[in-house]
Amino acid sequence: MATERAERVEWTVTGMDCGSCARKIAAAVERLPGVAEVSVAPMGEKLSLTLHPDETGRDRIEDTVRRLGYGIRPAVAPSGRHHDHDHGDPAAQGRPWHRSGKGRLVILTGALLAAAWAFELLAPSRWGYLGFVLACLIGLAPVARRALGALRMGQPFTIESLMTIAAAGALFIGAAQEAALVVFLFAVGEMLESVAADRARHGIRALADLVPRTARLETGDGTREIPASELRIGQVAVVRPGDRIPADGEIIEGHGGIDDSPVTGESLPVAKGPGDGVFAGSINTDAVLRIRVTRDPADNTIARIIRLVHEAEEARAPTERFIERFSRWYMPAIVALSALVVVAPPLLLGADWGVWIYRGLALLLIGCPCALVISVPASIASALSAGARRGLLMKGGAVIEAAASVATIAFDKTGTLTMGRPVVAALVPPEAAAELLATAAAVETGSSHPLARAILERAAADRIAVPPATGARAIPGRGATAVVAGAPAFVASPATAEQAGVLGAQDLARAAELETGGSTVVAVYRPDRLIGLIALRDTPRADAAKAIGQLRDMGVGAVMLTGDNPRTAATVAGGLGMDYRAGLMPQDKLTAIRDMDGAAGPVMMVGDGINDAPALKQARVGVAMGSGTDVALETADAAILRDRVTDVPALIALARATMGNIRQNVAIALGLKAVFLITTIAGITGLWIAILADTGATVLVTLNALRLLRR
């Protein structure tokens, strides 16, 4: 009977190198009563789970993880604030390999092995033999302990158990020299694996280190230096030229170039002034700024990015799940095959027992699936880090896998392909300009639609007195309406005005002409008469045409989805060299995405994430781009943090490179296993080659994955 409420608990777990470590831990704690929703992030060094405190205590969880051979301590605050995995274990960070536990084991077993060999060569005696036995036992002890821990938790088939049986068996049949070599090579492999895991981890940690440790807080009488983590919303910090900004905030005084590259990947400084938002970690290049803190330090953009990358790691890719299932039967199968190899030839053919026991043991080592198990997560962790450093965020392997295979990319028009800052280009007829702007601005007051903003800006610039409006509301996909000066007034698309019966043939022709020129036209009218037309123009993003060209070269189709009319859409899309679907109501966009998915294959939708959240959801991969990503970071599948359309092909290229990398890794892992499976049974290669193949494959796979970081 669970009386107490279940709670979410988080720990920092050290010593995990790969997905197989993570899985071992997850499987062990999942078996405990009252434990649910376990997730383990090997790169984030995090274990989190939901716990019924009256069924299993926290210490029991910690005990279980320690028995498997990993370090564990509670994450500082389980509420999600001040995640200390963002910084990791300060003692472990930057520690050279030879001072880590795994490094020391390598040195110790290596030294014993070398000494034993020296004895063997100089004065063959019992002492050399004992040296090999000693090296083997010392190197094997921690492995055997972990194997036992896992066995007690119901996991007989682990890398450690195969290793322990093989090495102990080799000692038993008198092959001490080889047993010691096997143990030594295994230790080397483990150490290299952990070095590589640290490297991948470092990619993300480096981001956290970009936020300065201290901030200059403005007080009544000057400034005081305080830890940046103690800044609170509403406080004002002073940032000197050349310093990094200590918190997400808003400039209240000062103008200067801000280098946002740590957060968005945009390397050109952006000119910002009072009212503009800034990110923690960005560099203030040339002026003194006063900044009001708008977000808690634990919750700033860079912290959210880091958290997102760590969570992304926990989301499994389909390929990874396949490999997992595969290795679940692979290990038992190899054990069964080894047993067969040991007993069948001697019993059936009267072959020599010693020879076949030896071959069976070597085969056990072929059963270590280490390289295979890490082949996918290693690539994905590298890709997530590499992307995050350039402002390309993807929520996990499944997203990467889907992004690599998209056939079509649907783009939202305003704010994605264009700057999203339309301006009024023409008022028709010109003599009605004042009434047009006054009525339209009255209707649009309070609206945040880009067209509304443009109309309001123009009205303000022309010093138009805007009459009050009541009952203002949007007509989605069509326009807006309100009661102005006692009667209803409308600002809507020409098609809507035509349906209302206020648009004559001549006005319609004029609207069409403006639209063909690339403007968006809205009609301003009363229920009984047209006041006039407003033409608005938005500029395509400078790199949009280049991005569409790159996508074409990659064999990916690009389609603009817009609520705008077909003529404007044709002109804008034609200029960018892409297809379009126009006149779409918000729900039509969902249907369009479904259609394209059915016809050509998976669709990726790119939008600002604010107005098009349902479309982002509908697409196989929803990507939020640009300034709107602040909201969309949590809802979309991926985010592009800077306003660059070319980051869309860059994202696809990264996803494809990652899948290629994964395929190479699986081929390396499986290929080497297949080759040595045969040579082992044939007796061409023995114990130490078998383990060298495993260690070598693991190292190759990890190094190959790290190549993604250098992209």
Ligand X SMILES: Nc1ncnc2c1ncn2[C@@H]1O[C@H](COP(=O)(O)OP(=O)(O)OP(=O)(O)O)[C@@H](O)[C@H]1O
Which residues lie near ligand X (CB under 6 A)? 412-414, 444, 447, 449, 451-452, 474, 477-480, 491-493, 520, 522, 562-564, 611
Query: What minimum distance in Å lies between the beta carbon of 178 and Zn ion?
Result: 23
3-state secondary structure of 212: coil
CB closer to Zn ion, 382 vs 646 = 382
CB closer to ligand X, 133 vs 474 = 474
CB closer to ligand X, 257 vs 477 = 477
Residue 275 burial (C-beta neighbours within 10 Å; 0-12, 13-18, 19+): exposed
Residue type, 520: T
Question: Residue 463 to residues 347, 467, 470, 585: CA-CA distances in angstroms?
Answer: 102, 12, 21, 34
Q: Which of 13, 21, 569, 632 is close enough to bind Zn ion by CB under 5 A? A: 21
Task: Candidates 12-20, 272-280, 327-335, 601-609: pick the segment binding Zn ion (CB under 5 A).
Answer: 12-20
Residue 452's binding partner among ligand X, Zn ion, none (Cβ under 5 to 8 angstroms by kind) is ligand X
Task: Candidates 15-23, 141-149, 557-565, 581-589: pick the segment binding Zn ion (CB under 5 A).
Answer: 15-23
Residue 20's binding partner among Zn ion, ligand X, none (Cβ under 5 to 8 angstroms by kind) is Zn ion
Output phi, psi for 226, to 5 deg. -135, 160
CB closer to ligand X, 397 vs 563 = 563
Cα dihedral across residues 443, 448, 449, 455: positive or negative: positive
- Integer Cα distance of 235 and 36 in angstroms: 40
Q: Using the 8-state DSSP alphabet, how is residue 316 labeled?
A: P
- Integer Cα distance of 188 and 183 in angstroms: 9
Query: What minimum distance in Å lies between the beta carbon of 651 and ligand X?
Result: 20
Query: What minimum distance in Å lies between the beta carbon of 457 and ligand X?
Result: 13
Query: What minimum distance in Å lies between the beta carbon of 445 and ligand X?
Result: 11
Residue 21's binding partner among Zn ion, ligand X, none (Cβ under 5 to 8 angstroms by kind) is Zn ion
Q: Which of 10, 12, 13, 17 is close enough to bind Zn ion by CB under 5 A? A: 17
How many other CB atoms are there within 10 angstroms of residue 85's CB atom? 26
CB closer to Zn ion, 139 vs 254 = 139
CB closer to Zn ion, 146 vs 478 = 146
Pair of tokens at residue 223:
């400034």
Query: What minimum distance in Å lies between the beta carbon of 413 and ligand X?
Result: 4
Residue 492's binding partner among Zn ion, ligand X, none (Cβ under 5 to 8 angstroms by kind) is ligand X
> Cis (ω within 30 of 0) for the bond into 53?
no
CB closer to ligand X, 16 vs 534 = 534
How many other CB atoms are there within 10 angstroms of residue 631's CB atom? 14
CB closer to ligand X, 381 vs 437 = 437
Query: What minimum distance in Å lies between the beta carbon of 86 and Zn ion?
Result: 23
CA atoms within 13 A on the CB side of 366: 28
Contacts for 614 with CB less than 8 Å, ≥ 6 apart: 586, 589, 590
**What residue is closest to ligand X based on CB?**
563
The tokens 């077909």 sit on which residue?
A: 566
Query: What minimum distance in Å lies between the beta carbon of 485 and ligand X?
Result: 19
Q: Which of 12, 20, 327, 680 is close enough to bind Zn ion by CB under 5 A? A: 20
Pair of tokens at residue 340:
């067969």
Yes or no: say if 171 and 144 are a contact pair by the CB < 8 Å rule: no
Query: What minimum distance in Å lies between the beta carbon of 194 and Zn ion?
Result: 9
3-state secondary structure of 71: strand
Pair of tokens at residue 116:
């034993």
Query: What minimum distance in Å lies between the beta carbon of 602 and ligand X?
Result: 22
3-state secondary structure of 111: helix
Task: Produce one character per residue of 297-333: b if its CB has 16 or more CB atoms within 10 Å, e if not.
Answer: bbebbbbbbbbbbbbbbbbbbebbeebbeebeebbee
Question: Residue 610 to residues 113, 300, 415, 626: CA-CA distances in angstroms?
Answer: 63, 20, 10, 11
Residue 672's binding partner among ligand X, Zn ion, none (Cβ under 5 to 8 angstroms by kind) is none
Q: Which of 18, 61, 362, 443 is close enough to bind Zn ion by CB under 5 A? A: 18
**Catalytic residue list contains 553:** no
Yes or no: say if 637 and 625 are a contact pair by the CB < 8 Å rule: no
Query: What minimum distance in Å lies between the beta carbon of 493 and ligand X?
Result: 3
Catalytic option among 198, 243, 260, 412: 412
Residue 493's binding partner among ligand X, Zn ion, none (Cβ under 5 to 8 angstroms by kind) is ligand X
How many other CB atoms are there within 10 angstroms of residue 542's CB atom? 12
Q: Using the 8-state DSSP alphabet, how is residue 606 labeled?
A: E
Task: Candidates 17-25, 85-93, 601-609, 612-620: pick the segment binding Zn ion (CB under 5 A).
Answer: 17-25
Query: What minimum distance in Å lies between the beta carbon of 380 and Zn ion?
Result: 15
CB closer to Zn ion, 17 vs 412 = 17
CB closer to Zn ion, 282 vs 327 = 327
The tokens 């299993």 sit on which residue?
A: 56
Which residue stretches of 628-686 are H helix?
629-632, 647-681
- Integer Cα distance of 464 and 441 in angstroms: 9
Residue 123 burial (C-beta neighbours within 10 Å; 0-12, 13-18, 19+): exposed
Pair of tokens at residue 15:
């010593």
The tokens 């096997």 sit on which residue?
A: 182
Task: Candidates 11-19, 39-47, 294-302, 429-437: pick the segment binding Zn ion (CB under 5 A).
Answer: 11-19
Q: Does 198 bind Zn ion (CB under 5 A)?
A: no
CB closer to ligand X, 217 vs 522 = 522
Residue 451's binding partner among Zn ion, ligand X, none (Cβ under 5 to 8 angstroms by kind) is ligand X
Q: Does 41 bind Zn ion (CB under 5 A)?
A: no
Nearest to 24 by CA among 6, 57, 47, 8: 47
Residue type, 333: A
Residue 18's binding partner among Zn ion, ligand X, none (Cβ under 5 to 8 angstroms by kind) is Zn ion
Yes or no: say if 135 and 183 are a contact pair by the CB < 8 Å rule: yes
User: What residues pair up with 291 in beta bridges, in sequence order?
Assistant: 237, 251
Query: What minimum distance in Å lies between the beta carbon of 562 and ligand X?
Result: 3
First to last CA, the chain: 54
Question: Residue 21 to residues 190, 201, 242, 483, 637: CA-CA distances in angstroms?
Answer: 11, 15, 43, 65, 27
Yes or no: say if 11 and 47 are a contact pair by the CB < 8 Å rule: yes
Residue 17's binding partner among Zn ion, ligand X, none (Cβ under 5 to 8 angstroms by kind) is Zn ion
CB closer to ligand X, 369 vs 518 = 518
Contact residues: Zn ion, CB under 5 A? 17-18, 20-21
Active site residues: 412
